[in-house]
Amino acid sequence: MRVVLADDQCLFRASLRQLLAVPAPIIAEVYGVDVGAGFEVVGEAATGEETISIVDKARPDVVILDLSLPKISGLEALRAIAAVHTMRTIVLAANLTRADVVAAVNLGARGLLLKEAPTSTLFAAIMCVVAGQYWISQTLLTHLLETVRPLLQSSDTPRTGKLTRRERQVLNLVVAGCTNKEIAQQCAVSEQTVKHHLTRMFDKVGASNRLELAVAATQCGLDTSSIC
């Protein structure tokens, strides 16, 4: 798996590079995680600008991204990457506020963990997001739940019944964690059309972002799995 490392600390990047260079059989034996054929670091960045540029050139499978990047923040780099590419991004930071967690998920991050996490957790997180799933450490998951709990406890029923068939198809893909580009490809429409659908859906459901939209679908028990 091709990986790009984005962190402003050179020594930390070097440590990550050495970890990812460990042969797959040893990772499996020592850390108990099957990483397939292993990893290849195809690029490193110390700033947000470098991250965007290197990702454009290297087209990795995974980006491991710190949000505390100079010049352009990690969140802005994540926004720029998600608008163009479909690779998976894992946010790995020393500290993440509730706002950081929500913003990162809303911008397309598939993994969220702290730098204090065990090495085995990093390997497991990478494999999880490569498989198309999410990985959020318990501490950061609490931030996320605290944010969406008011939505779940709201007495107002989400107005998902007013969605068109196409909007429900888009909603299904949003809940699955797809980016706008991935949704456009699967629905055979332009990304601008996807953005138009999302804007209309936000208005209908009363959501302000993709995370709230997904929560609204879950809250009302909307079955979107058969709408493809």
Domain limits, the chain:
2-148, 157-219
- Token couple for 85: 């590419």
Domain 157-219 falls in which CATH fold?
A: Arc Repressor Mutant, subunit A (1.10.10)
The 10s digit of each residue's pLDDT in 87-117 is: 899 999 988 888 888 888 888 888 999 999 9
The answer to whether 201 touches 215, Cβ cutoff 8 Å, is: no
Q: Provide mean pLDDT across the span 141-165.
A: 61
**168: pLDDT strictly greater than 90:** no
Using pLDDT thresholds of 50, 70 and 90, give the confidence band for residue 149: low
Mean of the per-residue pLDDT values of the chain: 83
Q: Which residue's structure tokens are 């947000």?
A: 48
Residue 196, C-beta contacts closer than 8 angstroms, at least 6 positions apart: none
DSSP 149-184: HHHHH-SSPP-GGG--HHHHHHHHHHHTT--HHHHH
- The Cα 187–Cα 46 span in angstroms is 36
**164: pLDDT strictly greater than 90:** no
Determine which helix (DSSP H) or strand (DSSP E) holds 5, and give its type and residue range: strand 2-6
Closest CA relative to residue 207, chosen from 130, 122, 109, 102: 102
Using pLDDT thresholds of 50, 70 and 90, give the confidence band for residue 180: confident
Helices (runs of H) and strands (runs of E) counted in the chain: 11, 6
Q: Provide mean pLDDT across the span 120-137.
A: 88
Using pLDDT thresholds of 50, 70 and 90, give the confidence band for residue 218: low
Closest CA relative to residue 140, chosen from 120, 110, 119: 110
64 against 147, higher pLDDT: 64
pLDDT value, residue 227: 32
Tell me the three state secondary structure of residue 72: coil
Determine which helix (DSSP H) or strand (DSSP E) holds 90, and give its type and residue range: strand 88-93
DSSP 57-99: HH--SEEEE-S--SSS-HHHHHHHHHHH---EEEEEES---HH
- Tell me the percentage of the chain whose pLDDT exceeds 90: 42
**215: pLDDT strictly greater than 90:** no
Residues 25/30/36/41 CA torsion (nearest 10 deg): -100
Residues 4/8/10/16 CA torsion (nearest 10 deg): -40
pLDDT value, residue 128: 87
pLDDT value, residue 217: 66
**152: pLDDT strictly greater than 60:** no
Using pLDDT thresholds of 50, 70 and 90, give the confidence band for residue 147: low
**139: pLDDT strictly greater than 80:** no
Domain 2-148 falls in which CATH fold?
A: Rossmann fold (3.40.50)
pLDDT value, residue 69: 93
pLDDT value, residue 78: 93
